[in-house]
Structure formats: structure tokens, C-alpha cells
């Protein structure tokens, strides 16, 4: 890192993974007064693989680095703000993004608040994202959120709810690095988790299938799979479990071995039916405009409506061009080319025309 910490105190959210561990090591090397913090979240007792050694690994890493180690227990708040929200959205037939809510309410909400109460100047995480600051003519500083150097690991999509105060008090030490660089640094620092593989699942479900998780909250209910003409061509175990664009999770009973793959292009949660179609260039169910709710912009101001932006409505999805249209107190996003697989409840995140700066986003209505 190019900056030095001086006597600045920083609490690092240490998950037990290599990214946050390297973040802590870099901050200590840069001269910060570093404290490692493991955040305990709600864990379902019906998932064996949810019982991980993350906390003990984070503790071992902190000991290796010679930094204090704390545990913040936010299990109750996590269950309420993230898990209950997710189940509620699925029951309503929408497709939520719990990782966005985890960042909003837990990591950059409760964690930041408690760290500040305990005297920390900053918090830091292992997120792959970057920030910068600009100073206006009146010397007021504004903070910008940028995509990571490693575009394959970029996590700015999950950070669109951050505001000026959160960015002012947050450090992203690995955001300007490639993942391969982070792995090399982990070995250089001799970290006990240097070879540990990355987690691929939600932060409380792990790699447990989402459908298996949800069935503990939403009972299975067999329903019909329809084609575009409204004819019954198969069945499924619940429209709640399926999302627009999904290829699996339903059974087609009227098909031939030569049929093309079919995708969910519509669903009716009340009737418990889903509509499927083979993917085509202009896939049924594609849209040219979506309205947003709960929109938030990092600068505090809605971007201009006379510009072209780049957006994504799924994590890792390639950015697509779009414009913004103000609608009453809210906004709509108008795609330059019609898009398929757009699911209500998901986050749509807006970037500048170069796709480098994350401007904010909203929830698809």
C-alpha cells in the first residue's frame, strides 16, 4: 500500500479467508493500528456445511500477525435483516440479493458503527473494490467507488448501497490487486490460510443449494410448467424457488432429445406456474425498461438523464449500455438493447460510461 497509517486505528473484518487476511497484513505493514474482527452471523442448524472453521482460522491469522482479535456477534440482527428479508422476497415471487443486504446492514452498518464506538478511525474489508476522493472548489471532499483492478473478482456490484460516510471510513486494501498477487502476498506473510480456497456461496449458506435451504422456510408445492402458448409441458416443486433466466429446477415432460435448453421467462407466484422457452436472440420475456425502487446513489444525487451509462442486473454479468429516466420520485433504466433474464427483486447497479465508477443502483420492481 502506498499510504501509511500513522496512528490511525483500523478494525479489519476478518472472515477467515485469504483476502481479508492479506488486507490486515498490508494495513499493519503500512503502519496502522490494526485489530482483527470476526463477525458472527446467523447459521442454520440444519446445514452441516454451515459449521465452518472460519472463526478459528481468523483467530489463528490474527495471532500470526500479532494483532488483537475481537468477535462481534450480529447473529440476531443478521437473521432479521438478511435471512428474513431473503425468505420474504422469495415468498413474494421475487429474487433477492442477500449479499447486498449483508453489506448494507451488517458489514458497513453495525460493524462500522461498533468499530467507531470503540475508537476506530476506519474499518477495512477484503472486498475487491477501490475508492478515491475528489475535492471541489470549496475544498469539500467527495468519495467515489470504483471497480477492482481484477475484473474477474470485482465486488462493486454488492456495494452500491454505500454512502459518503461509509466510504470515508472504509479501506479496501486488496482492491487494487489481482487475485494472484493476493495469493503471493499471503505466502510472503506466511499466513496460515494462504492456500485456502475461496468460498463460492452465500456468507451464511455456503455452498449448500439455495433450494434446499429455502424448503425449510417455504414448503414445496408442485406446479405446472407452461410453454409460451400456455400449454402444460412439465412440472416444478414451487415457483418460489425459480428465477427468471434459470435453466434448471423444473422438469419438462413434453420434449425430445433434440430440444434446445429451456429457460424460465416468466412466473406467477400466486398460480404457482412458470413459463419456459428456448433461448433466442429476442428471448420471450425480454424487456427494454425497468423501474427501480429503494434506489441509492453514492454521491447523493441522481445521475443526469441525458447520458449513457453501463449497468448490470446480475453479479458477473457483462455490463450493458442504458440510460436513466426520472419517473416521479423514482427512476427507470432504459436498456439500449432489450435484455432477458431480468428478475424483480435483484439489484441493478449503475456505472459510468466507462464502467469503472459505481454510481449506485436500486432494486428491480
Residues known to be catalytic: 102, 203
Q: What whole-number distance in Å separates Cα of residue 152 and Cα of residue 346?
A: 20
One-character DSSP codes across 67-120 = --EEEEE-HHHHIIIIIHHHHHHHHTT----HHHHIIIIIIIIIHHHHHHHTT-
How many other C-beta atoms lie within 10 A of the C-beta of residue 6?
10
Helix axes 54-65, 18-29, angle to 10 degrees: 20
Enter the C-alpha cell of residue 137: 472548489
Question: Residue 253: CB partners within 8 Å, gap ≥ 6?
Answer: 233, 234, 235
DSSP-assigned beta bridge partners for residue 290:
333
Q: What whole-number distance in Å separates Cα of residue 322 and Cα of residue 338?
A: 10
Amino acid at each position: 500500500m502506498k499510504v501509511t497509517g500513522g496512528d490511525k486505528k483500523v478494525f479489519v473484518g476478518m472472515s477467515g479467508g485469504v483476502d481479508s487476511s492479506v488486507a490486515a497484513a498490508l494495513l499493519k505493514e503500512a503502519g496502522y493500528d490494526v485489530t482483527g474482527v470476526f463477525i458472527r452471523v446467523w447459521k442454520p442448524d440444519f446445514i452441516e456445511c454451515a459449521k465452518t472453521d472460519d472463526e478459528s482460522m481468523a483467530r489463528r491469522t490474527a495471532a500470526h500477525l500479532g494483532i488483537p482479535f475481537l468477535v462481534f456477534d450480529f447473529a440476531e440482527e443478521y437473521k432479521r435483516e438478511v435471512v428474513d428479508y431473503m425468505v420474504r422476497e422469495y415468498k413474494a415471487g421475487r429474487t433477492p440479493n442477500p449479499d447486498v443486504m449483508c453489506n448494507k446492514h451488517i458489514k458497513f452498518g453495525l460493524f462500522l458503527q461498533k468499530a467507531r464506538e470503540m475508537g476506530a478511525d476506519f474499518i477495512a474489508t477484503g472486498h475487491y473494490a477501490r475508492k478515491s476522493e475528489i475535492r471541489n472548489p470549496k475544498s469539500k471532499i467527495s468519495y467515489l467507488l470504483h471497480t477492482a483492478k481484477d475484473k474477474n473478482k470485482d465486488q462493486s456490484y454488492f456495494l452500491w448501497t454505500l454512502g459518503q460516510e461509509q466510504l470515508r471510513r472504509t479501506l479496501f486494501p486488496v482492491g487494487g490487486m489481482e487475485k494472484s498477487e493476493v495469493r503471493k502476498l499471503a505466502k510472503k506473510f506466511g499466513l496460515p490460510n494462504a492456500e485456502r480456497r475461496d468460498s463460492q456461496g452465500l456468507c451464511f449458506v455456503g455452498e449448500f443449494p439455495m433450494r434446499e435451504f429455502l424448503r425449510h422456510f417455504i414448503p414445496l408445492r408442485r406446479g405446472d410448467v407452461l410453454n409460451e402458448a400456455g400449454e402444460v409441458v412439465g412440472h416444478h416443486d414451487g415457483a418460489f424457488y425459480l428465477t427468471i433466466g434459470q435453466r434448471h429446477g423444473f422438469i419438462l415432460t413434453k420434449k425430445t432429445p433434440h430440444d434446445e435448453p429451456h429457460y424460465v421467462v416468466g412466473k406467477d407466484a400466486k398460480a404457482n406456474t412458470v413459463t419456459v422457452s428456448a433461448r433466442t436472440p429476442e428471448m420471450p420475456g425480454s424487456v427494454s425498461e425497468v423501474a427501480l425502487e429503494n434506489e441509492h446513489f453514492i454521491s447523493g444525487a441522481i445521475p443526469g438523464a441525458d447520458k449513457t451509462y453501463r449497468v448490470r442486473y446480475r453479479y458477473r454479468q457483462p455490463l450493458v449500455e442504458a440510460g436513466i429516466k426520472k419517473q416521479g420520485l423514482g427512476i427507470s433504466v432504459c436498456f439500449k438493447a432489450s435484455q432477458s433474464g431480468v428478475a424483480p427483486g435483484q439489484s441493478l447497479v449503475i456505472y459510468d460510461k466507462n464502467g469503472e465508477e459505481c454510481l449506485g443502483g436500486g432494486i428491480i420492481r
